[in-house]
Each structure stands twice: as structure tokens, then as C-alpha cells.
């Protein structure tokens, strides 16, 4: 068996890279410095149909499979990690609908996202319910033909920019995880507001804010799936979307490796390029080796994700997606740190992109489940056999 991407995916990579280098990369440093949303990237991605390519063509999307979506996110992240969260968060927010939403709910909310008229975020975490997401306190109470939501969701990517939100809330207080349900909340619903943007180490172009729900009334038909199935949907969603975080990490690492490789061929010390020194060569070799290993695992996990979305029984997706996210993000942190080292003092300054890449890489070890939690997930899967 030849482990090689088909031609259409190689062409997709080339297309996305051209868009990213021409229309996203030139703004990456300024987006980071100003901590502003990358509007240029949104325009470029929407214009090329890359902002939510995973949405099926039956809802006006591109119908890109999981591996194609990984390649899109990977190539955008190579240029600008903040911008890669546009397609990544759109997928995170809409996968619950694709997995569990009614036909009416899908038809109402997926086409606007596919057309680029709206972004879709995901609201699971709370201040005291991060790794222990089942400990959430946000409530949803049925009132006739309405649900009334009260609570605060924290660490929500693209909050305030996105028009739509998948929100997890407790509908039956005494049932633990089985008492959690999922809903679609709109930015314009009464009682919806947002906290101030978090002041972050990296991915500064993607706003991270709290979503505040105060007596927010939404129609009863905006529940995603049956009542009490929200946490199950949340976990199933993460099985698919951890792969996109792995893809983001790959892109960040690839960008750092590419820049460092070019730099060491130009930088001269002791009368020759530092690329001629074996110590530097060994660093580059280790960076590339780790990156390629993480890439192969990520692509494998993406293939499993696609099979699962198609309805196949896939027993090892949970392990593979956690392993891919964990390995790729640890690799991104290691590769970007080494890239800074290879640039020496220059790498430590904002005049060069690798310090930004190192800061951006850190979050990939934390969100969508810390890497410590990923190891818990993997161990449980192994012990279950």
C-alpha cells in the first residue's frame, strides 16, 4: 500500500498554501501585535470556499472530507495560527448539528455558515468546569415552547464574532452528565452578552471571551438531539475536532521548521553557513522526524473520523484522535522552541515569526482537552481493550 495523498488533496494543499501566503501571511504579525480578528483571512478563506469546507454540499458547502479539512487548517496555520481557527471553530461549532441535529436545525443553520454569512462557535467550558466539563452549572429550563438559559461559558473561541453558538447546559440537575443538553444560541438572542477579550499568550487574533446568558429565551426546537444527550454529543464532537487541533499544531510546526531551515542556510558564523554544522543538522532532522510522525498519525485519525461521520462503526477513533492531538501539539511546542533556538537572539524578537509560532503552539497543548486529559483518555481506551 502506498501511503501517498491522492492528487486532488495535493492540489488542495497547493491551492490553500497559495491563498495563505498571498492573503493571510502578510497580515499575521500585525494581527498578533494588535490582537485583532483577522478579517483579511476571513475574506480570503470565504472567497476560496475554505472557511467551512467540511459542510456537506446538501447544505451549500464544499463537502470536504475530514482529511481535506485537516489539510486546509494545516496550511492556514502554517501562515497564521489565529486565522486557522476560522475553519477549525466553524467545524467545532457545527459538528454537533451534523451528528445529532434535526433536519430542520441543519437546514436553518448550516447554509448561512457555508455561504460565509455566519461563524459558529462552541460553548462547553466554564470557569469551574474545564477538564471536568460534566460539572457545568449553566441551566436550561423548559417554559412551554421555549428554553430559558442562564449561566456563563468561558474560553469560547471567536466569541463575539460568531453569530451562532452550540451551548451545553444542564436540563436535569440530578442526572449528572445524562442531564446535559445541547442548544443553538444566536448572538442576537435577548440576554446574550460577552465578557472582555482575554489577554492571551498566543493566537491573539482569535478572540477568546466569556459568553453570558441571562434569562436567554430560545425556541424549544433549537435543542440539538434529544434532551439529556448533550454531553454524549459533546464527547463525540471532540473525537472529530481534536483532529483539527492536531492539524493546527502541524501547520504551526511546519511554518517554524520552514523558516528555521531557510535561516540556517543563510546565517553564517565561523566563515560558513550554520547549516553546515552537524549540531544544527541534527536539530533540523529531529524537528522534521517528529513532525512527519505526528502528521501521519493525524492523517490516520482524520481517515477514521471520516469513516465515523459516514456511519461506519469505528472503535479506535477516540484513541487515535486523542493521540494525534497530543503528539502533534507536543511536537509543535518542541519544534517551535527549537526554531527559536536556531535563530538565536533573532528568534527571541518579534522581528522574526518563530517567537509568535512558539507562543501560538502552546495553546494546542491545552484546548480541546489538555494533553494530560488526552493521556487519561488514551489509557482508558487501552484498559477497555
Q: Give the integer Cα–Cα distance in Å for 177 and 170.
A: 8
Interhelix angle 39-47/81-100, nearest 10 degrees: 60
Grid cell, residue 29, equals 504579525
Which strand (E) or helix (H) includes residue 74? Answer: helix 66-79
Cα dihedral 165, 170, 171, 172, rounded to 10, equals: 160
Grid cell, residue 181, equals 443538553
Grid cell, residue 335, equals 519544534
Grid cell, residue 53, equals 469546507
The question of whether 21 is a catalytic residue gets the answer no
Grid cell, residue 93, equals 461549532
Backbone angles phi, psi at 206, to 5 degrees: -100, 110
Q: Give the integer Cα–Cα distance in Å for 362 and 364.
A: 5
Q: Give the integer Cα–Cα distance in Å for 118 and 95.
A: 15
Residue 224: name the closest of 168, 173, 160 by CA: 168
The residues that bridge with 151 in the sheet, in sequence order, are 213
- Tally the C-alpha atoms within 13 A of residue 376's C-alpha that lie toward its C-beta: 7
Residue 192: name the closest of 145, 155, 230, 160 by CA: 160
**How big is the CA angle at 34 (ends 51 and 186), to the nearest 5 degrees?**
45
Residue 324: name the closest of 368, 359, 287, 283 by CA: 368
Could you give the residue numbers annotated as active site? 368
Amino acid at each position: 500500500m502506498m501511503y501517498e495523498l491522492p492528487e486532488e488533496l495535493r492540489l488542495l494543499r497547493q491551492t490553500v498554501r497559495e491563498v495563505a501566503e498571498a492573503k493571510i501571511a502578510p497580515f499575521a504579525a500585525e494581527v498578533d501585535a494588535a490582537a485583532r480578528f483577522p478579517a483579511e483571512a476571513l475574506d480570503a478563506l470565504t472567497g476560496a470556499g475554505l472557511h467551512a469546507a467540511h459542510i456537506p454540499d446538501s447544505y451549500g458547502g464544499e463537502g470536504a472530507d475530514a482529511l481535506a479539512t485537516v489539510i486546509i487548517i494545516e496550511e492556514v496555520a502554517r501562515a497564521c495560527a489565529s486565522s486557522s481557527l476560522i475553519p477549525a471553530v466553524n467545524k467545532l461549532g457545527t459538528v454537533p448539528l451534523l451528528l445529532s441535529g434535526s433536519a430542520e436545525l441543519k437546514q436553518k443553520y448550516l447554509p448561512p455558515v457555508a455561504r460565509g454569512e455566519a461563524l459558529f462557535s462552541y460553548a462547553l467550558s466554564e470557569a469551574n468546569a474545564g477538564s471536568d466539563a460534566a460539572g457545568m452549572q449553566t441551566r436550561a429550563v423548559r417554559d412551554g415552547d421555549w428554553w430559558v438559559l442562564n449561566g456563563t461559558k468561558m474560553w469560547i473561541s471567536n466569541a463575539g464574532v460568531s453569530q451562532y453558538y452550540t451551548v451545553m447546559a444542564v436540563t436535569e440537575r440530578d442526572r449528572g452528565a445524562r442531564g446535559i443538553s445541547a442548544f443553538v444560541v444566536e448572538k442576537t438572542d435577548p440576554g446574550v452578552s460577552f465578557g472582555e477579550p482575554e489577554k492571551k499568550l498566543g493566537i491573539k487574533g482569535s478572540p477568546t471571551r466569556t459568553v453570558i446568558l441571562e434569562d436567554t429565551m430560545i425556541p424549544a426546537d433549537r435543542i440539538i438531539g434529544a434532551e439529556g444527550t448533550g454531553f454524549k454529543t459533546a464527547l463525540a464532537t471532540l473525537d472529530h475536532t481534536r483532529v483539527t487541533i492536531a492539524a493546527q499544531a502541524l501547520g504551526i510546526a511546519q511554518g517554524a521548521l520552514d523558516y528555521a531551515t531557510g535561516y540556517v542556510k543563510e546565517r553564517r558564523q565561523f566563515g560558513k553557513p550554520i547549516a553546515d554544522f552537524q549540531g544544527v543538522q541534527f536539530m533540523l532532522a529531529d524537528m522534521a522526524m517528529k513532525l512527519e510522525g505526528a502528521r501521519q498519525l493525524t492523517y490516520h485519525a482524520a481517515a477514521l473520523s471520516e469513516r465515523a461521520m459516514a456511519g461506519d462503526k469505528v472503535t479506535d477513533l477516540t484513541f487515535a484522535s486523542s493521540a494525534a492531538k497530543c503528539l502533534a501539539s507536543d511536537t509543535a511546542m518542541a519544534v517551535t522552541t527549537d526554531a527559536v533556538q536556531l535563530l538565536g537572539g533573532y528568534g527571541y524578537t518579534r522581528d522574526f515569526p518563530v517567537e509568535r509560532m512558539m507562543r501560538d503552539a502552546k495553546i494546542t497543548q491545552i484546548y480541546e482537552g489538555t494533553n494530560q486529559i488526552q493521556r487519561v483518555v488514551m489509557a482508558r481506551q487501552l484498559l477497555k481493550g
